Chain A
Amino acid sequence: MERDDFHVEPAALGKRQSGSDFREFFEAEYPRLAKALFLIVGDPLEADELAQEALVRVFERWDRVHLMDSPVGYLYRTALNLNRSRLRRLASRAKHALSPSSGPDPLAGVEARDEVRRLLAALPRGQREAVVLVEWLGVGAEQAGVILGIDASTARVQLSRARRALRTRVEQDE
């Protein structure tokens, strides 16, 4: 049996889904997960690919996952682990992993947005994951640590460094 291997209580994400309907879970979580992954990986197609694959993994273990304290925590941990596997594969092919979204942007006047993406892309992966989980998704640092498989103290350090880097930029703009 594969009961949840960790307990997460991301208050900001709400309690676990009532009942056991995977379709409901999917509809509630997919858009937010894809967006979080977009912030982390910087590429819309990669973000969608990771979100879909993570949800398939959850679907195939749904009989257990729906009983967990936090199916959402399991989903994000699965997605971020898949991203790490993807990065390992990319690295092993000696490609430059984690470039911000490239190519011309069809929209004009998007400098600020692009700047945010460049800033995010410049952060080490761990900092980027921590800041997206905490600042954008709204989980606590402790829970982010559980999802990322690191100590809460390490998560706090990652978070504080990411905040500092991003805040420096905000202050420069102001």
Chain B
Amino acid sequence: MSEISQLLELGASDFEPPPAAWDRLLGRVRRRRTLRRVTALVVASAAASAGIGLVLVAFRGSEHPQPAIRVENGKIAFSKDGPSGGIYLMNPDGSGVQRLTFDPGDIDLAWSPNGSRIAFVRFREGNADIYVMNATGSEVARLTRDGASSAPAWSPDGRRIAFARETPGNMDIYVMDPDGSNVTRLTDDPLLESAPAWSPDGSRIAFSAYVSPPGPVHIYTMGADGTSRTRITDSELDDASPAWSPDGRSIAFVRDSGSIFVVDPDGSGPREVVDPGALTGGLGLTFYPVWSPDGTKILFQSGPDGSDQGIYVVNIDGSDLQSVGSGNGSNPAWQPVPAAG
């Protein structure tokens, strides 16, 4: 031990952290959750008094551009951690579970627009790279080799994959072809950008960005070429994991790792869909909302704490929250299946 470290040890010798640290931490998390709910109620009542319809996202045959392929709900892909870790498929009612991969570091699942392939991240020994495979788990191909690529998102026409790439001290959004070629950088600034999500007409990309911990995370949108960036959330709480609705009218996201919110693509009318923690009485950590391909439900990952996560589905009006499948699961992604006819 050097003399300076001895000196420092002496300086801290009478310091004892206050007791009950874990209980105090839980209390602090609960207070943040309560604050979040109060904030949501204030926003909701302000919207109500302004005569704005609440929570319900109406689907009125939109004038917005539609996805390139008309699709219906297929199977749900998800990740599992631990000894039985890997990518799995199940039916939307939780039945028919099939295992596709055997690596607990497989996360960030993204379906191709016709539901025939899955892009995912293989996180191994601290390195993250993007892979693709068929929906049966066959023909696994590695697309990136920099060890710092994540969050793949397939463009609606299936010709590009947007993703986040980390460089020392920074993270930016890139796009590449589905074979890993033609990599183009879309953002180049000090913000840490991640979680790209395409609009259904492929013209814009939503993403989350923050300065560095602990700065709040906000949601932005930009053109598919990286221009005309707009910030669409402005909360002191973290807003992350945007997911564009199939009809293009809303973007779902997670606020403060707890509640599922939706907001119009221009940033107006943010509203809470569901706070799973409030319903279950737990602390409720929530991540990764995705839309059902038919746009009627939101699928997400939630659980009482960070290590016990399951998959849930809720109607877009916040009703009928249900757990899907059994046991642990994370990173859900709902397979689009081309509609008959």
Q: Report the minimum CB–CB distance from B306 to chain A (whole Å).
A: 3
Contact B11 A117 (CB under 8 A): yes
**In chain A, what residue has the closest Cβ to B22?**
A26
| A163 interface residue per 8 A CB criterion | yes
Separation of A67 and B309 alpha carbons in the complex (Å): 15
Given A62-B285, A166-B7, verify A82-B214 contact (CB < 8 Å): yes
- B-side contacts of A3, CB under 8 Å: 128, 150-151, 164, 166, 171, 194
Using an 8 Å CB-CB cutoff, how does the interface string of B291-302 with A read, 1 for contact, 0 for none? 000000000010
Separation of A7 and B287 alpha carbons in the complex (Å): 23
- B-side contacts of A4, CB under 8 Å: 166
Q: Report the minimum CB–CB distance from A113 to chain B (whole Å).
A: 6
Question: Which listed residue, A1, A116, A166, touches B194 by the CB 8 Å rule?
Answer: A1
**In chain A, what residue has the closest Cβ to B211?**
A81
| A34 interface residue per 8 A CB criterion | yes
Question: Which listed residue, A19, A55, A110, A167, touches B307 by the CB 8 Å rule?
Answer: A19
| B162 interface residue per 8 A CB criterion | no
- B-side contacts of A63, CB under 8 Å: 285, 287, 301, 306, 309, 330
Given A23-B22, A120-B11, verify A74-B126 contact (CB < 8 Å): no
Chain A CB within 10 Å, residue with most, of B18, B150, B258: B18
Contact B7 A116 (CB under 8 A): yes
Contact A149 B5 (CB under 8 A): no
- B-side contacts of A21, CB under 8 Å: 307
- B-side contacts of A20, CB under 8 Å: 81, 306-307
**In chain A, what residue has the closest Cβ to B192?**
A5
**In chain B, what residue has the closest Cβ to A173?**
B7
| B12 interface residue per 8 A CB criterion | yes
Using an 8 Å CB-CB cutoff, how does the interface string of A10-43 with B read, 1 for contact, 0 for none? 0000000001111100110011001100110000
Q: Report the minimum CB–CB distance from B192 to chain A (whole Å).
A: 5
| A94 interface residue per 8 A CB criterion | no
- A-side contacts of B238, CB under 8 Å: 60
| A47 interface residue per 8 A CB criterion | yes
Q: Report the minimum CB–CB distance from A170 to chain B (whole Å).
A: 5
Q: In the complex, identify which listed stretch (B23-31, B134-142, B218-226) lies at the interface while the others stay far away.
A: B23-31
- A-side contacts of B21, CB under 8 Å: 26, 30-31, 34, 48, 52
Question: Which listed residue, A1, A19, A113, A136, touches B164 by the CB 8 Å rule?
Answer: A1
Given A52-B21, A67-B123, A167-B4, verify A149-B169 contact (CB < 8 Å): yes
Bin chain B's interface residue count. 35 or more
Bin chain A's interface residue count. 35 or more
Using an 8 Å CB-CB cutoff, how does the interface string of A40-71 with B read, 1 for contact, 0 for none? 00001101100111111101111100111100
Given A1-B150, A116-B11, verify A61-B123 contact (CB < 8 Å): no
**In chain B, what residue has the closest Cβ to A117?**
B11
Contact B213 A77 (CB under 8 A): yes
Contact A107 B14 (CB under 8 A): yes
Separation of A107 and B166 alpha carbons in the complex (Å): 50
Contact A5 B8 (CB under 8 A): no
| A78 interface residue per 8 A CB criterion | yes
| A85 interface residue per 8 A CB criterion | yes
Contact A27 B22 (CB under 8 A): yes
Question: Which listed residue, B5, B25, B108, B171, touches A56 by the CB 8 Å rule?
Answer: B25
- B-side contacts of A7, CB under 8 Å: 126
Separation of A82 and B216 alpha carbons in the complex (Å): 12
| A155 interface residue per 8 A CB criterion | no
Question: Which listed residue, A44, A78, A110, A136, touches B8 by the CB 8 Å rule?
Answer: A136
| B311 interface residue per 8 A CB criterion | no
- A-side contacts of B4, CB under 8 Å: 131, 135, 163, 166-167, 170
Q: Give the A-binding residues of B (Cβ under 8 A).
A: 2-5, 7-15, 17-18, 21-22, 24-25, 28-29, 32, 81-82, 105, 107-108, 123, 126, 128, 150-151, 164, 166, 168-171, 192, 194-195, 208, 210, 212-215, 217, 238, 240-241, 256-258, 285, 287, 301, 305-307, 309, 330
Q: List 6 A-B contacts (CB under 8 A).
A: A1-B241, A2-B217, A22-B306, A60-B258, A67-B107, A116-B7
